[in-house]
Amino acid sequence: MTKAFSPSPLFERVERARRRKRKIKDTQITLAHGSGGRAMHELVEGLFLEYLGNPILDTLEDQAILDIAQANGHRSARLAFTTDSYVVDPIFFPGGDIGKLAIHGTVNDLAMSGARPLYLSAGFILEEGFPIDDLKRILDSMSSAAREAGVQIVTGDTKVVQKGSADRLFINTSGIGVIDSDVRISAARAQVGDKVIVNGSIGDHGTTIMIARGELELETEIESDTAPLHLLVNEMLTEAERIGAPDGIHSLRDPTRGGVATTLNEIALKSEVHIRIFEGKIPIKDEVQGACEILGLDPLYVANEGKLIAIVSAEIAEQLVARMRDNPLGRKACVIGEVVAEPEGIVSMVTGFGGTRIVDMLAGEQLPRIC
């Protein structure tokens, strides 16, 4: 959450805390462990990596980059590989459903490495009693989303558990993409002087889900922004090459769980830089802003499903933004911040009033089962 700013002593305390090895102190899983925020990072870094760690997993990118060596000695293929389980509640919501999300989310995790998404797997866990008509609707939606994104579902699995042992259905999609160019996009490559770009307004998806749960009776036109971003990324890479800076896109990440704030914190930590964003430049729809105020949410922490954060070298930022605006998914693209040296591992925001606040990683869990 954004915290009141006080100068260097606070920064130093935060920096010290950040350097401590993450450890998990809880004895039970809590909803916060699935938040995308601090507790999830503790679980992943303090537990999963301890047991399963290896040089590829340890990078904690949203996708693994694999060099598939052929036994025959031919040049290896460079692949991206990713997985996500979808447990969103409700399963149908304005702008999409769990099936569409399961395609877009995995396509986007591949795209954020510069990969061309090709093949998806789909694993279904179904609750006994789940209506076949709802399943048809979800499969139809997955089929359209896959076709539009140009990917094929090539392998699958179905499990059924007794009534009460799962909530309707969960879908896992894993994906494989091929990286044709020599790009090395990584959350660890943000550099001092870089600009921070977002491709449009933030907070739409999470706000839509919260409203769709009907806990507050809000009537709005807000829809999930769920969309496949690989073509936009491809255009960005092509434009960077055209400008003569093929390596100018340093980091790409889709700010899903934990929102833009958490994603920027991940990049700042991995790249050991400070990221400064400007409140007045962050595009937020009036309706989303209004709904978030009523729901008690900060749009910076709300999940997006059709947004990306790009950290790019300053020389190409404006041209990239112009190119992004030609794509329907980048109409509102803009520079929202910059990368500076210190205090490293931290994100700050210059507010509308000219003050500065620390924008921390999401703490706790405000939005369980958002994706």
Of 222-251, binders to its own copies (CB under 8 A) are none
> Tokens at residue 58, please?
């340890």
> Tokens at residue 116, please?
């061309």
Work out whether 74 is an interface residue with its own copies (CB under 8 A). yes
C-alpha to C-alpha distance for 333 and 318, rounded to whole angstroms: 10
Strand order of the sheet with strand 249-253?
A: 2-3, 356-359, 346-350, 274-278, 334-340, 195-198, 309-312, 249-253
Q: Which of 12, 26, 326, 342 binds its own copies (CB under 8 A)?
A: 26
- Closer residue to its own copies in complex, CB, 21/28: 28
SS3 128: coil
**Which parts of 154-183 interact with its own copies (CB under 8 A)?**
154-162, 164-167, 170, 172, 174, 176, 178, 180
Nearest to 195 by CA among 39, 317, 44: 317
SS3 251: strand
SS3 231: helix
Work out whether 369 is an interface residue with its own copies (CB under 8 A). yes
Work out whether 135 is an interface residue with its own copies (CB under 8 A). yes
- Closer residue to its own copies in complex, CB, 199/256: 256
- Closer residue to its own copies in complex, CB, 12/26: 26
Quote the least distance from Cβ 75 to its own copies, whole Å: 5
**Which parts of 48-67 interact with its own copies (CB under 8 A)?**
48, 50-52, 54, 56-57, 63-64, 66
Q: Which of 102, 146, 277, 311 binds its own copies (CB under 8 A)?
A: 146
Q: Which stretch binds its own copies (CB under 8 A): 76-84, 189-197, 213-221, 302-310?
A: 76-84
Q: Which of 11, 37, 38, 81 binds its own copies (CB under 8 A)?
A: 81
Work out whether 40 is an interface residue with its own copies (CB under 8 A). yes
**Which parts of 179-208 interact with its own copies (CB under 8 A)?**
180
| Exposed / middle / buried, residue 18 (Cβ in 10 Å: 0-12, 13-18, 19+) | middle
Report DSSP letters for 63-81, one per residue.
Answer: SEEEEE--TT-PPPEEEEE
CA dihedral 21, 61, 84, 230 (to 10 degrees): 160
Quote the least distance from Cβ 173 to its own copies, whole Å: 8
Work out whether 301 is an interface residue with its own copies (CB under 8 A). no
Q: Which of 12, 128, 293, 342 binds its own copies (CB under 8 A)?
A: 128
Q: How many residues bind its own copies (CB under 8 A)?
A: 89
Work out whether 77 is an interface residue with its own copies (CB under 8 A). yes
Work out whether 215 is an interface residue with its own copies (CB under 8 A). no
Position 114: which residue type? G
Instruction: State how far the alpha carbon of 289 is from the alpha carbons of 13, 210, 314, in Å.
Output: 31, 13, 29
